[in-house]
Structure 1
Amino acid sequence: MKITEIREITLPISSPIRNAYIDFSKMTLSLVAVITDVIRDGKPLVGYGFNSNGRYGQGKLMRERFIPRVLEAAPDSLLDASGTNLDPHKIWAAMFTNEKPGGHGERSVAIGTIDMAVWDVVAKIADRPLFQLLAERYGNGVPERRVFVYAAGGYYYPDQDHGKLKDEMRGYLDRGYTVVKKKIGGASLDEDLRRIDAILSVLQDGQKLAVDANGRFDLDTAIRYAKALSQYDLFWYEEAGDPLDFELQATLRNYYDKPMATGENLFSMQDARNLIRYGGMRSDRDFLQFDCALSYGLVEYLRTLDMLHQHGWSRTRCIPHGGHQMSLNIVAGLGLGGNESYPDLFQPFGGFPDGVRVEQGHITMPELPGIGFEGKADLFREMRALSA
């Protein structure tokens, strides 16, 4: 049993939207196929992965460093103890060979994308949904197939007025979401408050709004927003300042006693640990948004979960960024608190397998081998073209 080939293609996921920091007009991602010599139904089993939006494709790094290291390793050295499946931890270690600590930004995305594809094919070889495999190996054996999801939207569009913003949010609510998210910090505070009021006017009982500054604010601005946002009952106030400014985050809790969220731009267990140590995050109300596809993959995410446990944090406080099916499987298999969702953006990579519906803010994971990409027809067309 061995990996015979690893392929990457860089694809556009451009969109005429912006948040407080970047626009997405030239956004790309890497799509990866890990091809094995395991034959099922007359064809080699293939695992697929891609990186989340907000970081660009990493094909050059993959081809120069990480893919060759996997392919040059002795095949038997990448197998699990039984010899009947690949071992994601050994493959991860092969990719990280000759890498120094620190400097996580871009290589963590490259490794995380390949790692996703590895876990996909490992679950397919085991003939299990990934969420079931994870529950058996790292959870309590019983996955939670009903997963909370929220709708991420509310970006700044050209010529979007408040009426169109309300229509966007109604569209999410009509599809079964109970929590929606909008961007802040890309307009004045007064205009952002008007946008918040517009959205709140269409919410019903049991429905909530989260807001996301995408790390835009300095401390004074973060505090001004915190004071203004305190009048609302928001689901959370997200990533007010630079993701590595732990002092800002710790100070902000003195001005905002309601839930906050951050972590999507921390790309290692060590950075996540520094957030827990020094960022003033409160385990009884705040949320952590680490995204495995950007932070060295599930192998590293498991280390992060172990660290959180050691610091007294429940896994239910983790609601990953990214809106992809890999995180959905982690949430279901390991008992996390929920997952981000992009109902209309970054297609075909966002969303759920065909036929999966949001009901009262939750989806039910389908019984599909691996991550379940084959269940989403428009996405699988792209994947199949890469591995053909």
Structure 2
Amino acid sequence: MTTTAAPLTAAPAVLDRIESVTLSSVTLPLPNPISDAKVFTGRQRPMSEVAFLFAEIRTEAGFEGLGFGYSKRAGGPAQFAHAREIAADVIGEDPNDIARLWTKLVWAGASVGRSGASTQAIAAIDVALWDLKAKRAGLPLAKLLGAHRDSVRCYNTSGGFLHESIEQVKENATRTLESGVGGIKIKVGLPDSAEDLRRVRAVREHLGDGVPFMVDANQQWDRPTAMRVSRRLEEFDLVWIEEPLDAYDAEGHAELARSLDTAVATGEMLTSVAEHYELIRQRSVDIIQPDAPRIGGITQFLKLAALADHANLQLAPHFAMEIHVHLAAAYPHEPWVEHFDWLHPLFNERLETRDGRMHLSDRPGLGVTLTEQARAWTVDSVRIDAPR
């Protein structure tokens, strides 16, 4: 006896539709003004707050997703304004079609470019769609993507800024390591490179030889200075030297990467996959440091991760650990994730750190929800609904 399969129907394969998008501009005040090398070289003022763009998406079937992007110093209102203009383009769409929706949004605002503030505005919506998709599946985002590991190496940056004395930086490092974080990064790039070396030496002696240690010059060296100081830094057994040159100087970074035993890391300030590809093409980095909110969200990050994997690069995403712990866990090569405690007031949940690693939770999606304090810091908000 034979049976005949039922014919496939021609009905549209739409699982759900986006009913509303709520956008919120939230200003997070920092407890103390923050200074890195850009302040000491006169290029920026101390940072006292961070502007966040949150996107909350709801579907007709009742699923919800939360995403965010951010801007340090200027740019937050521009991101919010751009997102407000284009968000209506996803209303009525199937939220599962994330890559298609990213393309639709980027072309909606293509006259102002496909990088920078325009794609950073898209990032919040894109992250929310990925959060929603993982929640629909009942999975942490890393598991939806396909995790290679359940925890990732992590290092702390927020305790190593230049506005604090070296004694305070050492105290911060001790407290950070006791909390379960595995590595310590401090800022360098002062006008007096001898002071940089003094601070690095003091922290290395404090940490001992076995603790992973990184430095970050925040783009403040020219090529000769970067070569000279980086060679001096090699004695401290650093995991990497970060942003020794201008973020767009792929050629200069490539020369450093060829010349040094210490790994060269950069990429956090770039705002598109295309810009990162130039670093990969010229072999400018040993460790690439993309920032998902800056390059347009998770959809773009996954494209870049595939390119980085093909080039056998190490990965150390910048900031936004609540997003990047998932993306790093899904990267084939053992990555690093940057631990910042600045965002703690925004989210009800905490990422667990122990034994030098940041651990995935079993919460679905990104695994975070907004605090009432975050909502109290909202300076502008708009909800875009489906027409009725």
Q: Which bin holds the TM-score, normalised by the shorter protein?
A: 0.7 to 0.9
CA displacement at 1:205 relative to structure 2:
4.5
Q: 1:380 aligns with which of 371, 383, 387?
A: 371
CA displacement at 1:287 relative to structure 2:
0.7
CA displacement at 1:346 relative to structure 2:
4.5
| 1:168-194, Cα deviation, whole Å (9 max, x unpaired) | 111111112231000001351111111
Identity of aligned residues (%): 27
Q: Where does residue 49 of structure 1 map in the other structure? A: 67
Q: Does residue 16 of structure 1 match 2:13? A: no
| Contact 2:215–2:242 (8 Å) recurs in 1 | yes
| Contact 1:113–1:294 (8 Å) recurs in 2 | no
Q: 2:116 aligns with which of 97, 105, 114?
A: 105
Q: Where does residue 313 of structure 1 map in the other structure? A: 312
Q: Does residue 30 of structure 1 match 2:48? A: no
| 1:83-110, Cα deviation, whole Å (9 max, x unpaired) | xx53221221221124159562222321
Q: Where does residue 118 of structure 1 map in the other structure? A: 129
| Contact 1:52–1:324 (8 Å) recurs in 2 | no
Aligned length: 354
CA displacement at 1:319 relative to structure 2:
1.1
Distance 1:55 1:349, change over 3 A: farther
- Residue identity in the other structure for 1:297: G
Distance 1:45 1:222, change over 3 A: same
Pairwise mapping of residues 1-388 of structure 1 onto structure 2 (< 5 A)? 1-14=17-30, 15-21=32-38, 22-38=44-60, 44-52=62-70, 54=72, 56-63=74-81, 65-73=82-90, 75=92, 78-79=93-94, 85-98=95-108, 99=110, 104-135=115-146, 142-152=147-157, 153-157=159-163, 160-281=164-285, 286-310=286-310, 312-314=311-313, 317-335=314-332, 337-343=335-341, 345-349=342-346, 353-354=349-350, 356-374=351-369, 379-382=370-373
| Contact 2:23–2:56 (8 Å) recurs in 1 | yes
- Residue identity in the other structure for 1:366: S
Distance 1:125 1:346, change over 3 A: closer
Partner secondary structure for residue 323 of structure 2: helix
The CA distance in 2 between the partners of 1:13 and 1:384, in whole Å, is 13
Partner secondary structure for residue 373 of structure 1: coil
Higher strand residue share: 2
The CA distance in 1 between the partners of 2:240 and 2:234, in whole Å, is 11
Deviating more after overlay: 109-118 vs 228-237: 109-118
| Contact 1:9–1:59 (8 Å) recurs in 2 | yes
What is the CA RMSD across the aligned residues, in angstroms? 2.7
CA displacement at 1:280 relative to structure 2:
3.2
Distance 1:124 1:384, change over 3 A: farther
| 1:247-289, Cα deviation, whole Å (9 max, x unpaired) | 21122235422111111111111111111112533xxxx2110
- Residue identity in the other structure for 1:294: R
CA displacement at 1:381 relative to structure 2:
2.8
Distance 1:154 1:305, change over 3 A: same
* Deviation beyond 6 Å, 4+ runs, structure 1: 384-388
The CA distance in 2 between the partners of 1:38 and 1:3, in whole Å, is 5
The CA distance in 2 between the partners of 1:102 and 1:8, in whole Å, is 23
CA displacement at 1:340 relative to structure 2:
0.6
Q: TM-score, normalised by structure 1?
A: 0.82
Distance 1:367 1:143, change over 3 A: farther
The CA distance in 2 between the partners of 1:279 and 1:52, in whole Å, is 29
| Contact 1:156–1:183 (8 Å) recurs in 2 | yes
Partner secondary structure for residue 228 of structure 1: helix
Q: Which runs of 5+ in 1 are unaligned?
A: 80-84, 136-141
- Residue identity in the other structure for 1:338: W
Q: TM-score, normalised by structure 2?
A: 0.82
